[in-house]
Amino acid sequence: MAINVGDRIPEATLMQLTDKGPAPVKTGEFFKGRKVAVFALPGAFTPTCSNQHLPGFIKSADDFKAKGVDEIVCLSVNDAFVMGAWGKQQGADGKVTMLGDGNGDFTKALGLDFDGSGFGMGRRSLRYSMIVEDGVVKSLNKEANPGEAKISGAENLLSQL
């Protein structure tokens, strides 16, 4: 069953690449007492993700901060090394926090995963965006087609703040 507006974010451990290597990020601690814009996508370095989704949030980072967002998170079922390299290549440093859900546990707990085996990708995240306040989902935008970044894009999420 997929997460809905009003639901609490499940407890899970994501990974972030730091100067010292991959570091765990506990969702309960990370979201507590904060307003976080989260967007998730099927995979780092993939066309729609690299050409539309992530760049929109990087470009709009200051607008999110001006509307009270503490942090913008890009989430994918990739490891921390891939997310770190992709973020660096895209210029996300200081604007968007790149978090890996390497085993897809968080994505599965949200009920927002899909089977990309037909494309050689295994289990992946649906493309979505959401505002999370103090661990509770306040808005959720799921794309019907993972190859599009329209309703889950930065512009639409900004309009919901």
The residues that are catalytic are 49
3-state helix/strand/coil string of the chain: CCCCCCCECCCCEEEEEECCEEEEEEHHHHHCCCEEEEEEECCCCCHHHHHHHHHHHHHCHHHHHHCCCCEEEEEECCCHHHHHHHHHHHCCCCCCEEEECCCCHHHHHHCCEEECHHHCCCEEECCEEEEEECCEEEEEEECCCCCCCCCCCHHHHHHCC
